[in-house]
Chains A and B, each alone.
Chain A
Amino acid sequence: MAGPGLGSTVRREVAAWGRDPWQLALVSWLPLVLFAMLWWIFSAGIVTDIEVSVVDLDGSRLSRSLIRALDATPALRVAHHPGSVLEGRRALSNAETGALIVIPYDFQARVTEGLKPEVTAFYNGQFILVGKAIKAALVQAQGTVAATVDGARVLAKGVPIPGAAGLAAPLVPQITPLHNVSMNSALFLVPAILPALWQVIMIVGMINAIGRELREGTWNAWLAAGPFRAWAGKMLPYVAAYWTLGALTLVFYRVLGWPVRGSWTILLGAMALAAVATAVMAGALYVAVRDIPRALSLAAAYTAPSFAFLGITFPTNNMPAAARLWRELIPVCHSMDVQVLEMSRAAPLAAAAPHLGALLVFLGVLPLVLLRLTPLPEEEPR
């Protein structure tokens, strides 16, 4: 085929970065700033010091020890002692406190008599992540205090010590978190948010690059290389830049002490394939409308909700079929599956292979894109 080769198309694209500061930002500092910002939001790591209020209607030694146990959990801080339940409820409604704990009248007396009184706790379920942390801390504090009381009571009856603990709680589940030992929320959220953002930045950067040709009236000159070489030469610098960016996030996780336990090769391979798949989809969206603003509207509809579909916050196996289908169409969802398998656990290649294969399927769209990369009869800058 006549016309410029792949190498000169690549050089032509990289040279354009010098004239287009926005395009340069999209492949350099802008994603880094956004990534750093998102990490910084979650830099505290775990949910701590949620303010809760306690209405202590008993005012006994036992109720005070329960309050101390609540305050001693890392997640909670007993910060308010409202005079009434109604007052406590108002603070809960205004999100000033995360929970309202009510210790009933005669709490200690009823415990002593073995009447099993109940402590009621209302926690804010609207903020689920925080709510779950509050619930876990409540259960922990109750368990601590109840075990002390039960153990003391059984001992008083003269049962030998090992049996005493057994009588207090016959079957104790001990849960071990696998693959995220510290139960760190940042470790759970950040490695999912960054790929979602990565997906959006990639497709936007690539659509800008393709659309620039029509905007600047250089469409035909670009296509002189032939559709495949024009597309490949233009996309190669972006695939390389965004792949590097993806690799940087892995280095970043490592620096933060979240090691990559599995295979770097598989992970980096998945990222390269996701970048290529995105290059195909960016081309498809652009050639469908041949206008940057309209292609960007489509890209926004397509990739902006990626985070919801990744399956990290809400499990994929509970998504309805339509959501799982949409998920299949987003490249980063597949590289995320590989990331889950390889980052915190060392899954074998066989486990990652179906997801890598799914990314290759996107190449099937490429011929349609190339068919629409045709020179215009007359060209005017627009």
Chain B
Amino acid sequence: MIRFLELVRKEARAILTDPVIMLTVLGGVVFYSFLYPLPYSGQVPREQPVGVVDLDGSVLSRQLTRWIDATPELQVCARPGSIGEAEALVTRHELAGFVVIRENFRRDLLLGRPVHLAVAGDATFFLVYGAVAEGAATAAGTLGAQIKVGRLLASGQEIRLAARRWTSFGLNARPVFNTTLGYVNYVVPAVFLLILQQTLLIGLGVLGGTQNARRLRGERGYWMDHPAWQVLTVRTLIFLGIYAVLFLYSTGFCFEYYGVPRHAAPGELLRLALPFLLAVIGLGTVLGQLLERRDLATQIVLFSSLPLVFTSGFVWPEHLVPAPLLALAALVPSTPAIQAFLRLNQMGADFSQIAPLWTQLWVQAVVYGLLAWWLLRRNARSAAGAVEGETFSHSAR
């Protein structure tokens, strides 16, 4: 028991006094929790600059221009004299798009001829393009409805009926779960889980890599003097303790701070977090045992971040990702964890629905745990063998 407590003390000291581990684990999680959502804090693109090429110069064209300006998405910043001029402004990235009101706009509308409103948006940026399309459609729809209602009224219809009849049936398309289509709500839940995983992997990878490097230099360390299962247990418990707090910080405090919806009960989230963190700790320990230098973990984990984000299914639909890449991604805890977490906490699924993903995390936790134990034992034994060999050669000399 005393030996076990000794192990706890030494392991805790190895973790807590390593500046790289602390900088990554505590510094990383807190720093990223502020930096990552920063560019998105506006949530949705607003007041994108557009130009109106008004070749009609009528009352109706000016009214349309005002309506475009009044939409939350758009702001009329320029009145280019020609389409070419407007295009040049988009090319120079000064305008997000433009609307062309052609000659005889008012006349054709009043005559009941179909009028096409030419809208151009910069499709290099999807959100900007979407804002231009949406804003222009709203403004055109408002003017179109007004004209149609006017026509129906002129043909002798009652106003309420006329207002309702400007199209045969309506579409009420409503986004659910992230009802404002806010970007923070979109990015934060998934990315924060990935940040927890990546910093934890780096922490364990640095710890393992450092101890391997020392072992390869022929040093003995406390981690070789105890059975591998004890080292693994202590390491797991210490990191689990730290990350339980960081998990609560990220998904509790930060979600509250950023106003990200929280549909799941804290107990359910912790139930999901347990196999997730255990699987990551197992994987991180495996990674640490395979590395022979203390600086490699940061690099490997850093390079894996973007591929992991884009195969986890929240940006790009899973069924469009090539199968071999999906299979690779399924080996990493963040993939099922992000999917399960988003369903549970952002989309209000109940726990029974995410059970397959939860099971996947437990399988990972067990497999990586066993692999970690085996590697720890193998490395400790090979060191013991080397030391014995050395003693032997010394005595022989």
Assembly CA distance A190 to B315 (angstroms): 13
Judge whether A326 and B35 touch: CB under 8 Å.
yes
Q: Which residues of A lie under 8 Å from residue B325 when comparing CB positions?
A: 37, 40-41
Q: Are B109 and A117 in contact (CB under 8 A)?
A: no
User: Chain A 119-134 against B: per-residue CB contact (8 Å), 1 yes, 0 no?
Assistant: 1111111111111100
Per-residue interface assignment for chain A, residues 25 to 64, with 1 indicating a CB less than 8 Å from any chain B CB and 0 otherwise:
0100010001001101111100111100000000000000
Residues of B123-137 whose CB lies within 8 A of A: 123-130, 132-133, 136-137
B172 contacts A340, C-beta separation under 8 Å: no
Residues of chain B with a CB closer than 8 A to A201's CB: 303
List the B side residues contacting A111 at CB < 8 Å.
Answer: 168-169
CB atoms of A345 and B91 under 8 A apart: yes
B262 in the interface (beta carbon within 8 A): no
Q: Does B306 sit at the interface, judged by CB under 8 A?
A: yes
Shortest Cβ gap from B56 to chain A (Å): 13
B113-121, B240-248, B377-385, B389-397: which lies at the A interface?
B113-121
Please indicate the chain B residues that have their CB under 8 angstroms from the CB of A293 in the complex. Answer: 20, 206, 294-295, 298
Q: Which B residues touch A126, using CB under 8 A?
A: 177-178, 185-186, 314, 342, 346-347
In the complex, A200 Cα to B302 Cα: how many Å?
A: 8
**For the complex, is A374 an interface residue (Cβ under 8 Å from B)?**
no
Please determine whether B123 and A177 come into contact, CB atoms closer than 8 angstroms. Answer: yes
Assess whether A320 is in contact with B41, with CB atoms less than 8 Å apart. Answer: yes
B116–A174 contact, CB under 8 A?
yes
User: How many residues on the B side are at the interface (Cβ–Cβ under 8 A)?
Assistant: 113
Given contacts A308-B39, A312-B125, A314-B45, contact A297 B23 (CB under 8 A): yes
Q: Which residue of B lies closest to A344 (CB)?
A: B124
Chain B residues lying within 8 Å of A221, measured Cβ to Cβ, are none
Residue of B at shortest CB range from A77?
A: B319
Instruction: State A115–B122 Cα separation when bound (angstroms).
Output: 38
Residue contact B171 to A175, C-beta cutoff 8 Å: no
Q: Which residues from chain B contact A268 at a C-beta distance below 8 Å?
A: none
Whether A256 is near chain B, meaning CB under 8 Å from some CB there, is: no
A90 on the B face (CB < 8 A): yes
A197 lies within 8 A of chain B by Cβ: yes
Task: Please tell me if the beta carbons of B28 and A300 are within 8 angstroms of each other in the complex.
Answer: yes
| Chain B CB within 8 A of A11 CB | no
Q: Are B298 and A297 in contact (CB under 8 A)?
A: yes
Task: Decide if B167 is an interface residue (CB 8 Å cutoff).
Answer: yes
A178/B346 contact (C-beta < 8 A), A38-B310, A150-B167, A319-B42 known: no
Contact B173 A175 (CB under 8 A): no
Is B170 at the interface (CB under 8 A from chain A)? Answer: yes
Q: In residues 125-178 of chain A, which contact B (Cβ within 8 Å)?
A: 125-132, 135, 138-139, 142, 145-146, 149-150, 153, 162-163, 165-178
Chain A residues near B128 (CB, 8 Å)? 315
With both chains docked as a complex, state the minimum distance between the C-beta of B32 and any C-beta of chain A, in angstroms: 7
The residue in chain B whose Cβ has the minimal distance to the Cβ of A204 is B299
B285 within 8 A of A: no
> Which residues of A have CB within 8 Å of B167?
116, 146, 150, 168-169
Whether A90 contacts B353 by the Cβ 8 Å rule is yes
Shortest CB-to-CB span from B304 to chain A, Å, is 9
Q: Is the pair B45, A326 in contact by a Cβ cutoff of 8 Å? A: no
B147: A residues at CB distance < 8 A? 170-171
**B322 interface residue, CB < 8 Å from A?**
yes
How many A-B pairs have beta carbons closer than 8 Å: the answer is 341
Known: A124-B175, A294-B23. A171 touches B118 (CB 8 A): no
Of the candidates B39, B117, B206, B354, the one whose C-beta lies within 8 Å of that of A327 is: B39
Bound-state CA distance A313–B186 (Å) is 12
Q: Are B171 and A315 in contact (CB under 8 A)?
A: no
* Alpha-carbon distance between A345 and B176 when the two chains are bound, in angstroms: 36
Q: Which interface residue of A116, A170, A201, A319 has the most chain B CB atoms within 10 A? A: A170
A311: chain B residues at CB < 8 Å are 39, 125
Within 8 Å by CB of A93, from B23, B118, B348, lies B348
Segment of A179-187, A269-277, A356-364 engaged in the interface with chain B: A179-187
Contact A169 B114 (CB under 8 A): yes
Assess whether B38 is in contact with A326, with CB atoms less than 8 Å apart: yes
- Asked if B321 is an interface residue, CB under 8 A from chain A, the answer is yes
Q: Which residues of A are found within 8 Å of B148, using beta-carbon distances?
A: 167, 170
A190 to chain B, nearest CB (A): 10
CB distance from A30 to the nearest CB of B (A): 7
Return the chain A residue nearest B180 by Cβ. A125
Report if A301-B27 is in contact (Cβ < 8 Å); known contacts: A119-B171, A171-B143, A171-B144. yes
Measured in the bound complex, the distance between the Cα atoms of B310 and A332 in whole Å is: 20
Contacts of A344 in B (CB 8 A): 124
Contact check, A347 vs B91: say whether CB atoms are below 8 A apart: yes
Closest 3 CB pairs of A and B: A125-B175, A177-B123, A180-B123
A138-B171, A167-B148, A301-B27 known; 18 new pairs, CB 8 Å cut-off, are: A37-B325, A41-B321, A111-B169, A114-B165, A120-B174, A139-B173, A142-B169, A149-B169, A175-B121, A181-B123, A200-B303, A300-B302, A301-B31, A308-B36, A308-B38, A308-B40, A314-B39, A320-B42
Please give the residue numbers on chain A whose beta carbons come within 8 Å of chain B beta carbons, in ascending order: 22, 26, 30, 34, 37-38, 40-44, 47-50, 90, 92-95, 107, 110-111, 114-132, 135, 138-139, 142, 145-146, 149-150, 153, 162-163, 165-181, 183, 185, 188-189, 193, 196-197, 200-201, 204, 208, 211, 292-294, 296-297, 300-301, 304-305, 307-309, 311-315, 317-320, 322-323, 326-327, 337, 340-341, 344-348, 351
